[in-house]
Structure 1
Amino acid sequence: MTNKKAMSPVEWTHLVLGVAIVFGSIVRFLPGLMAGFPLNDGGMFLSMIRDLADSRYALPEFTSYNQLQIPFAYPPFGFYVARLLSDLLNIPELDLLRWLPPLVNSLSILAFYLLASELLKSKLLSVLASAFYALTPGAFGWFVMGGGLTRSFGSLFLLLAVFSVLRLFQTGQGKFVGLAALFCGLTVLSHPEAGVHTAATCFLVWLFFGRTVKSFVNAVIVGVGVVLVTSPWWGTILAYHGLAPFLSALSSGSYGIPVWRALTGMILGRESYIPILAVLRLIGLGWGIWKKEYFLVTWAVVPYLVEPRSAPSVVFYPFCMLIALAFAEAIPFFASRLRKIPVATGELYKSKTCNALLFLVLIYLFVESGLYGFRLVNNSLKPAEVEAMTWIKENTPEGASFLILTGVKSPEIDPFIEWFPALVERRSLSTVQGYEWLGPGRFMGYYSDLAALQGCELMGCVEDWLVRTGLDHQYVVVHSAQVDDGLSKAFAESGSYRRIYNEGKIEIYESVTP
């Protein structure tokens, strides 16, 4: 009987990377497949994609979303890709918002592998990091939603930009000047916060790997290239609106949580019932400091200093690499010290114990990611909600304004509120999306106002809110699934409103006040 030949390092890395790509793609595509509609958000982006059709691909001055004259200042790369695919392949815009985000985010697994290979200088470590990147429950959530159309492109190009800049500083080759300028520019054109994080990370790369005159000159050339690549967008916005939309967007971030608390929350985050990743992150962070992996450790902190709101999605990259170091180096090292048996970390692929442990961990993370996907499905529009919106579009005046009560105090996780203006093409007084471009402080101020509105349990509270904000409306939509029963009953019994629709826990009232 012949012994089975052991896998070579190349075969092992190909196997683990293949598992990461295949199973990582499955958990990204499955929620959209089950939901039958783009997950969570993306309503404003649907309007912007359709606006490009109306403008024949010219950058519009305003978006039609919510009839608020919102400047069309959002980085438009994803919208143009979706518009082009819809026109060339005759794919409905809603289907593109459903499938493009998970597709692009699945491609990010390969981009992450390229970057990890350069930073960790080990195929074994880089495929391990990629597997954890692909299968961490919840880490892909915001990128596979409808609004992930821009976030997923931003993430993909951020990884490719940092990889290109790192290779440029390491080799000095001219081709990486062009690639770095291209990918940095595409990041800026894809997502505003991704552009900020890319600039900060590339500066960090220069500090650790490129402090030479030649690297500085190359960095300046890349910067000029980024300005040129992005100039058609920002030049048009400046011509339309000046700096106002950009200054407004800069004031809409969330900076209220101390860095140490946000970072601690990320490290100890419970993505799964068994805190495997939290333990590995702690071990990896300590090991990284001990082994002087200062770039990864610093990169895990800097995003919270630069742009705290989206920092968790960026620090996830260095932490996946630190997790790989914990799994492949730190744990075997301490195990060997306890057992007094030397372990060659570069040959862990030969260890049946390590392979079995890795297999169990990845299977567990895959299952947890699948369960997380079910939670995403629950946060998408249901057929009854779409039917109600269709009815409103067909049976109410085009210029009508709607007050929508859902009971959800966080607008960013309320799909009904966000999709309403796009699908109904009417004004929603309860929608905050787009306010980040309307003036400094308006987004956070209206966000607080809407949280107060959705917390109302009495009709008097709603009326006081309308008086305080000075907003006028012709219709009220009550989504009774989460709204207090007493509030729904108050509208039904009020002489100031007439119920005109009542299906699937959605009630629509027309104001009849003289």
Structure 2
Amino acid sequence: MVGLALAVALPVRLLPLLGADFPLNDGGLFVAMGQDLIASGFQLPLTTSYNGGAIPFAYPPYAIYFAAALSSATGIGLPALLRFLPLLVNLAAVVAVAILARRLLPVPASSVAALAFPLFPSSFEWLVMGAGLTRSFGFFFAILALFFGHRLFVMGGRGNLALAAIFASLSVVSHPAAGVFGLASLFIFFLVLSRDHRGFVSLLAVCVGCTVLTAPWWGTVLVRHGLGPLTAAASATEPSQTVATFASLVLLGGSASPLLSVVALVGIFVCVARARWLLPLWLLATAVVVRNLTGPPLALILALLVGEALGELILPGLGAPGTVGSRVPGSEPQVAAPATGGDQGRSTGRWARVALVTFLLGQPILAGLSRQVWGIDALQFIGAQERTAMDWVSTHTPESSSFLVLTAARSWAEDPASEWFPTLAKRASLATPQGFEWVRGPQYRRRGQLYDRLKQCFPRDATCIESLAAKLGAPFTHVYFSKALRGPYDPAPLAVSLARSSRYRLIWDGSEAAVFMRLSP
């Protein structure tokens, strides 16, 4: 089943990578941080050089250290590593989910869940892109922590306790939201599986172990920067964003797998009807507690609910063998005898089951492939011509220059040019929020607001940029204008206005980008 899950997962994940010669979407911040680590001899720097050098080096560093060490050992550049390393870790997570599903659900529900998980777009889209380096590692380690945490609460054992604490710690020092997901999930496991003195002691021991093992990271941050970076990062995401992500995934399956989400909703009713509270409570807790990385955890739980619905209700209703009772760890699930009937009835039921499973699992595969072919998601990248323009900026503009990076992307989270510009051009981008969630104060939100409001200038002229920058306190010296069509905005009117304006001089013009110098700041 693990091999089949990988076979299902690979096509939709690999296709966008094969068409790119650069990391998908984001990752510029982590490349800069990895380069900072290498330059410092792997001593944790005080700040990162990214986007002006004012961002504290407070981000959980495991994945960044891993990539930097691998780059130093192999001679492969960090951008090249960020093309495929997140994909490999995400595929490892697919295997880990299959193993966890076998632990939590009986057969055939666990098999269905293992196949359903990689079909949810949210199980990979934000994990295989460049910055998926940290997200993928964090999610992978969280799954392993849950596997051993489940064994701990059901079976006990020092080995399970130690491994649960180790993997929970690795999750925390890889990605903050993944660590929150792992620890919150362990708490739900405790409430449902082992709500007694032994279970409480086990949970407490895991939390203490996790705190001790992660102390070198958070202790260094506290000594150098105080609580500011940690509290700023914790408050960077609005609760409404998490609610919106939850609604999108549960009701629409992330837009590409609505049928699976409908089946998952059926799974919720199955769990409630049979008083199996783990998955419904886990789903609710994840939606409430986890921020910034809500998609993959919800995809995991929805896949388990799909397994419950298909394996426990729908397929048995078509004459398939079902399971009786709950999964008992360490034993084989009991299988109910199939309904009696003639050979023709059994054959019809078998073909009905095959057709249903093929349809439910095949539709998301086709939908996912079409998303990659038509490029209607965040899995895009900056091409060679834009990278050439950014490299030119790094050598032909003053180091003190401040840029407005204008692109047609829908949002800054899906804008590769905006994030990669500070790394490749080595100049400050005033409307790039990445990294500033770790800076105390309004910079993160102010940069996000500037990015969003600049979109209002696309159908207008250069005076819109001037007035907006003045209003938001963003003095700029240059404009980098991306000509790539990555979103719904038409760049032509604003590009023509900048070229004709007496306040700007065109200093670089290529097929994918133009650079303007502001003459009267």
C-alpha displacement of 1:32: 1.4
Pick aligned residue for 2:233 from 220, 245, 249: 249
Other-structure match for 2:152: 168
Q: Distance in 2 between matches of 1:110 and 1:473?
A: 48
Q: Does the CA contact (< 8 Å) of 2:125 and 2:379 recur in 1?
A: no
Other-structure match for 1:396: 397
Other-structure match for 1:493: 500
Other-structure match for 1:135: 119
Deviation per CA, 1:326-385, whole angstroms, max 9, x where unpaired? 11222134446xxxxx85454789944423432444333323222233325862112221
Q: Aligned ranges for residues 67-106 of structure 1 at < 5 Å?
A: 67-106=52-91
Are residue 227 (structure 1) and residue 211 (structure 2) matched? yes
Q: Does the CA contact (< 8 Å) of 1:299 and 1:315 recur in 2?
A: no
**Closer, same or farther: CA 27–378 of 1 in aligned 2, 3 Å:** closer
Q: Distance in 2 between matches of 1:343 and 1:494?
A: 73
Are residue 312 (structure 1) and residue 295 (structure 2) matched? yes
Q: Distance in 2 between matches of 1:246 and 1:473?
A: 29
**Which range is displaced more, 480-489 or 280-289?**
480-489
Q: Distance in 2 between matches of 1:389 and 1:396?
A: 11
Q: Distance in 2 between matches of 1:240 and 1:215?
A: 36
C-alpha displacement of 1:309: 4.1
Other-structure match for 1:13: none
C-alpha displacement of 1:319: 1.2
Count of residue pairs the alignment pairs up: 492
Q: Does the CA contact (< 8 Å) of 1:82 and 1:96 recur in 2?
A: yes
C-alpha displacement of 1:219: 2.0
Pick aligned residue for 1:195 from 179, 183, 188: 179
Deviation per CA, 1:192-222, whole angstroms, max 9, x where unpaired? 1111111211111111112222222222222
SS at match of 2:479: strand
Aligned partner letter, 1:52: L
SS at match of 2:508: strand
Residue ranges of structure 2 left out of the alignment (5+ in a row): 324-334, 339-345
C-alpha displacement of 1:270: 5.2
Q: Distance in 2 between matches of 1:167 and 1:72?
A: 36
Other-structure match for 1:367: 366
SS at match of 2:434: coil
Residue ranges of structure 1 left out of the alignment (5+ in a row): 1-15, 337-341
**Closer, same or farther: CA 430–264 of 1 in aligned 2, 3 Å:** closer
Q: Distance in 2 between matches of 1:445 and 1:395?
A: 28
Q: Does the CA contact (< 8 Å) of 1:409 and 1:452 recur in 2?
A: no
Aligned partner letter, 1:368: A
RMSD of Structure 2 on Structure 1 (CA): 2.3
Pick aligned residue for 2:261 from 258, 261, 278: 278
Q: Does the CA contact (< 8 Å) of 2:256 and 2:368 recur in 1?
A: no
Other-structure match for 2:326: none
SS at match of 1:129: helix
**Which range is displaced more, 476-485 or 500-509?**
476-485
Pick aligned residue for 1:111 from 77, 96, 110: 96
**Which range is displaced more, 405-414 or 417-426?**
405-414
SS at match of 2:239: coil
**Which range is displaced more, 165-174 or 448-457?**
448-457
Q: Aligned ranges for residues 323-402 of structure 1 at < 5 Å?
A: 323-335=306-318, 344=322, 346=335, 351-374=350-373, 375=375, 376=377, 379-402=380-403
SS at match of 1:310: coil
Aligned partner letter, 1:372: R
Other-structure match for 1:10: none
Other-structure match for 1:238: 222
Q: Does the CA contact (< 8 Å) of 1:253 and 1:307 recur in 2?
A: no
Pick aligned residue for 1:149 from 112, 121, 133: 133
**Which range is displaced more, 98-107 or 249-258?**
249-258
C-alpha displacement of 1:471: 2.5
Q: Does the CA contact (< 8 Å) of 1:283 and 1:330 recur in 2?
A: no
Pick aligned residue for 1:476 from 476, 479, 492: 479
Q: Distance in 2 between matches of 1:403 and 1:305?
A: 36
Q: Distance in 2 between matches of 1:505 and 1:424?
A: 15
Other-structure match for 2:328: none
Aligned partner letter, 1:225: G
Q: Identical aligned pairs, as a percentage?
A: 34
Are residue 512 (structure 1) and residue 519 (structure 2) matched? yes
Q: Distance in 2 between matches of 1:94 and 1:472?
A: 30
Q: Distance in 2 between matches of 1:467 and 1:413?
A: 26
C-alpha displacement of 1:418: 0.4
Pick aligned residue for 1:296 from 259, 279, 283: 279
Q: Distance in 1 between matches of 2:450 and 2:276?
A: 45
In terms of fraction of residues, the more helix-rich structure is 1
**Which range is displaced more, 359-368 or 247-256?**
359-368
Q: Distance in 2 between matches of 1:79 and 1:451?
A: 29
**Closer, same or farther: CA 216–159 of 1 in aligned 2, 3 Å:** same
Deviation per CA, 1:422-448, whole angstroms, max 9, x where unpaired? 111111112111110111443223312
Other-structure match for 1:411: 412
